[in-house]
Structure 1
Amino acid sequence: MIMKRFIPEIFRGLISDGISNAKKYLAEVETRFVKNEKSKIGTLLTKLVLMKYKNKGSIREYIMKMSNVVSKLRTLKFEISDDLLVHLALIFLSSHFGQFKVSYNCQKDKWSLNELISHCVQEEERLKQDKTESAHVATKDKKSDQTKDNKDATMTTNKK
């Protein structure tokens, strides 16, 4: 008989007293506390489906996080193909990548995950350059508008 003084009270009522072997007892305890793989899969799938790139951080890190969730699902014997992962990553990209998504959909070839990362990083850099250029243009236009407004105000004052 297993010594009751070594068994926490919380476990004593769960297992029948007829178990005299420690290995059998531990096996019985283990069956009571088996991880529920279905709930873990559900949690990981929810995490994957709710991952949306919000233009914060690196696009490479975003796709790698998605890939990490998929690899955790695979360890639970829940298979998600690389093709599906590529499509999910594209779907969850922000609207800034709209032209990029259309470009991918018009191609006959499918990209691997590494190709997707490479192309996304290039597109991210292009978008950053466009944003910087448009910011410079906006700044120049703003100054010229202010100068024009000041000239109009001066002319109006002079006419009075």
Structure 2
Amino acid sequence: MDIDFVLRLPSPAPLRDKSSTDEKRDVERWEKLNCMCMMIMKMVIPEAFRGTTSEKITSAREFLEDIEKMFAKNKKAKTSTFLANLILMRYKGKENIREYIMEMSHTASKLKALKLKLY
């Protein structure tokens, strides 16, 4: 079954009085697959994320875009947390200098993975 059909193609145009049987069939198929896709995604995605999505969303594509926006904000928060840790990191003199350098390097590599360039 082509459940990803609704993710690849936009929703079809609304039906009119003059719509052909092919157009009616395509709309019915799209709506059925969209409903199935939404049910599967809502069942699989944890409740914590489901509660943050809007109830006005009716298509699977919009649902995924809404979830993606939520994680984009999370990525920015992660970047700022790592950057703050790197800036506030101080050598206290009691620790091993090697561990301190390795911790700084590890934090910097996390920032590089988030596509933040450090000079």
Q: Calculate the TM-score normalised by the size of structure 2.
A: 0.49
Higher relative contact order (CA 8 A, sep 6+): 2
Structure showing greater radius of gyration is 1
Which of the pair is proportionally richer in helix? Answer: 1
Q: Calculate the TM-score normalised by the size of structure 1.
A: 0.39
